[in-house]
Amino acid sequence: MKKKPNIFLASSSPRRQAMFRFFNLDFKPLKVSFDETFLSSVPESICLEICQKKMSASHDLLGEEVEKSIVVVADTLVFLNEQILGKPKDKDEAFKMLRLLSGKQHSVITAVGYSNYGEIEFFHEKTLVKFVELSSEMIENYLDRNDYHDKAGSYAIQSDHNFFVEKIVGSYTNVVGFPMESFLQKCKGISI
């Protein structure tokens, strides 16, 4: 019987790790440091560019272990038109982001890369999310009850206090931070 490969998830996101555990994907978390600047101005390309850098840093860190492993990387960003809404620096910035998203449709794009014994594939998933109109009081209530610091766009769709998503078109798990359905479909031929 062939031994299952090591799966390395290059992500410190508790949500991504929880999804991998839920789907019984036995993984080792991998912490990588890399330059997150980008040259592209197209939303999907920005996510892919960051993801490619993360994969390169993961391969550098793992060295020869890459040849016996599966490495998974991902990067999720929120876009309102072409404007990136990343992780807020503080509560004021989180408030401004949620105010911008109020009553509007935005895109959540996640780029995913996976390295199967050194051979690399990338893809991205785009989900459209529409918010109801948010009053200042609603935004304050949400921010007082939720950790927004490590969330692109300052919100978590899976939060107990998120009642402002009016509509979603596409993958729910993508908005959480990892398009698991697409990943599992693309990895059907891989022994994970």
> Which segments of the chain does DSSP mark as H helices, in order?
14-22, 43-62, 91-101, 136-145, 172-176, 180-186
C-beta neighbour count of 49 within 10 angstroms = 18
Give the domain CATH number at 32: 3.90.950.10
User: Using an 8 Å Cβ cutoff, are 18 and 181 in contact?
Assistant: no
- How do the pLDDT tens digits run along the chain, 192 residues long? 456 678 999 998 888 999 999 999 989 999 999 988 888 889 999 999 999 999 999 999 999 988 889 999 999 999 999 899 988 999 999 999 999 999 999 999 999 999 988 789 999 999 999 999 999 999 999 999 877 888 889 988 888 777 889 999 999 999 999 999 999 998 876 666
pLDDT at 3: 62
Distance CA 8, CA 157 (A): 26
CA nearest neighbour of 3 among 20, 31, 21, 26 = 26
Range 64-103 burial, b when 16+ CB lie within 10 A, else e: eebeebbbbbbbbbbbeeeebbebbeeeeebbebbebbbe
Q: What is the DSSP letter of 189?
A: T
Check if 147 is active-site: no
Q: Coil, helix or strand for 143?
A: helix
Q: Into how many domains does the chain fold?
A: 1
Q: State the residue range of the domain holding 130.
A: 6-186
Q: Coil, helix or strand for 117?
A: coil
Indicate whether 144 belongs to any domain.
Answer: yes
pLDDT at 191: 62
Distance CA 32, CA 36 (A): 11
Indicate whether 1 belongs to any domain.
Answer: no
pTM metric for this prediction: 0.90
Q: Which two tokens stand for residue 16?
A: 């991504």
Q: Which two tokens stand for residue 53?
A: 């850098």
Point out the catalytic residue in the list 26, 35, 75, 92.
75
Distance CA 144, CA 67 (A): 46
Indicate whether 75 belongs to any domain.
Answer: yes
Indicate whether 22 belongs to any domain.
Answer: yes
Indicate whether 192 belongs to any domain.
Answer: no
Indicate whether 92 belongs to any domain.
Answer: yes
pLDDT at 188: 78
